[in-house]
Amino acid sequence: PNSHNPYTQIQHDVEEIQSFIDHTFTLLDESLSQVTDLNRQQKIESAEAQLQEVQQLYKEFGGKIKFCPPDQTIKLLETSNTYKQHIQKCTASLNQLKSDELKSSQKKTEKKSKHDKKFETEAHQVMDENIEHANNSLTTALEIEEIGANTAAHLQRQREKLSRTNRMLDNLSERIESAETGILEFMNRVAADKLALFWICLIAIGLLVALIAKATQ
């Protein structure tokens, strides 16, 4: 019976390891195929993990076949050699991907460096323009401040002139009022004098009439 066969468990372990190796090689081949600039780094990371796993399985496989039946050893050694060649091929492909990624990264770095230099040059240019604009703005601000100061001084002079004019008008108004008062007083005196003259004339006329009447008697 198989339960008494010492090679049964070894054969089962070898078949299981072969299944794992075949499956891992399938994943590894997929990781090393259809590589683009966009997915290269991700493919490299997956391939590295799968290659490490298949190398560990390969070591386990090599350790197991030593204990297999002699009639199977030669076939298993050929399989092991096939695995070894496949691992070497995948390792070479992975190294090529790493080399391509390094070159691509260097190109990107150079391109970025050129872009950064161009950006730095443009930034300096913009900075110089901003400084010039700031200087012009400062000059304009100083000119505006000077104009404002001159305008303020002019307005102050105008206010002083207006204040003097108002004082002159107030004095003139007082004089006009005083003159009006004087004229009214003068007119009142004249009116009173006219009334007195009227009575004097009237009395004189009366006296003259009396004298004429007396003379004619």
Higher confidence at residue 9 or residue 59? 59
Q: Are 61 and 18 in contact (CB under 8 A)?
A: yes
What pLDDT score does 6 carry? 67
Q: Which of 4-8, 68-72, 115-119, 156-160 has the lowest mean pLDDT?
A: 4-8
| Residue 141, token pair as written in the block | 């601000």
Higher confidence at residue 88 or residue 181? 88
What pLDDT score does 136 carry? 84
Please list the alpha-helical segments (H only) found in the chain. 8-31, 40-65, 70-216
Residue type, 138: L
Residue 62's contacts (CB-CB under 8 Å, 6 or more residues apart) are 80
Question: Measured at the alpha carbon of residue 211, what is the angle toward residues 205 and 217, in degrees to the nearest 5?
Answer: 140
Q: Cα 77 from chain centroid?
A: 68
Give the separation between CA 18 and CA 76, rounded to whole angstroms.
10
Give the separation between CA 2 and CA 130, rounded to whole angstroms.
90
Residue type, 93: S
Residues 49-63 as b/e (b if ≥16 CB within 10 A, e otherwise) read ebbebbbebbebbee
Higher confidence at residue 87 or residue 135? 87
| Confidence class for position 33, pLDDT limits 50, 70, 90 | very high
What pLDDT score does 2 carry? 46
State in Å, rounded, how far the first CA of the chain is from the last one.
208
Tens-place pLDDT, residues 146-202: 888 888 888 888 888 888 888 888 888 888 888 888 888 888 888 888 888 899 999
15 vs 82, 114, 153, 204, CA distance in Å?
Answer: 15, 56, 106, 174
How many CA atoms, within 13 angstroms, populate the side-chain half-sphere of residue 157?
6
Give the separation between CA 135 and CA 149, rounded to whole angstroms.
21
Give the separation between CA 43 and CA 21, rounded to whole angstroms.
19
What is the mean predicted confidence (pLDDT) over 17-37? 96
Give the separation between CA 217 and CA 214, rounded to whole angstroms.
5
Give the separation between CA 173 and CA 165, rounded to whole angstroms.
12
What pLDDT score does 1 carry? 43
What pLDDT score does 137 carry? 77
What is the mean predicted confidence (pLDDT) over 134-152? 81
